[in-house]
Amino acid sequence: MSTVIDTNSANSTAPDLANHQPASVALKTTKPTLTVEEIQELLPHRYPFSLVDRIIEYVPGERAVGIKNVTVNEPHFQGHFPGRPIMPGVLIVEAMAQVCGVVLTQMLESDGGLFVFAGMNKVRFRRQVIPGDQLVITVELLCVKQGRFGKMQGRAEVDGQLATQGELIFSLVE
């Protein structure tokens, strides 16, 4: 089971967006995961572009850990590369961005808006990701500005080995 912070408790505080720092939270509750169905309630992505299978850890306003199971029957493997399937780096980064989206959509009041990928910094690819791998994606909030822009640090690992890392930037659009 994973630890999830209950921000609705009388003993907890919400993230302080004015200072761009997550607040400490006193009460922790246990929740096993966010399922793919629950993720789809938060994010607009659908097959073949839904790249997060499960959230295994979530701390509101701070961080999340998601899982992406990489399978050979995903459409991009037909051409990338025949006889030697490698998950495209851009899709690894997109999977990281989708885990970030889980944190951002629940943290900020979007009023029907949509968080979109606005940029990335210091992204590095350290290991190939192939069918049969399980990506464990960890993202942490770095800052929020004007309630409309967010920057997060992400890393994707396979079997404890770093595959990809970088800073991801998001913007809220109406």
Residues 121-157 have pLDDT tens digits of 999 999 999 999 999 999 999 999 988 899 999 999 9
pLDDT band at 31 (very low <50, low <70, confident <90, very high): low
Phi, psi of 38 (to 5 degrees): -70, -35
> Residue 80 catalytic?
yes
CATH of domain 33-173: 3.10.129.10
pLDDT at 51 > cutoff 90:
yes
Mean pLDDT for the stretch of residues 3-32: 39
The structure tokens listed for 131 are: 């069918």
62, 13 in Cβ contact below 8 A? Answer: no
- pLDDT band at 113, cuts 50/70/90? confident
Q: pLDDT value at position 111? A: 66
Which position has the higher pLDDT, 150 or 32? 150
For residue 153 the two structure tokens come to 């640090």
- Contacts of 168 by beta carbon, 8 Å cutoff, 6+ apart: 93, 96, 97, 100, 117, 119, 120, 139, 151, 152, 153, 154
Q: What is the Cα–Cα distance from 59 to 15, expressed in whole angstroms?
A: 11
pLDDT at 33: 84
Beta carbons within 8 Å of 148's beta carbon, 6+ residues apart: 108, 171, 172
For the CA atoms of 104, 108, 112, 115, the dihedral, rounded to the nearest 10 degrees, stands at -30
Q: What is the mean pLDDT of the chain?
A: 84
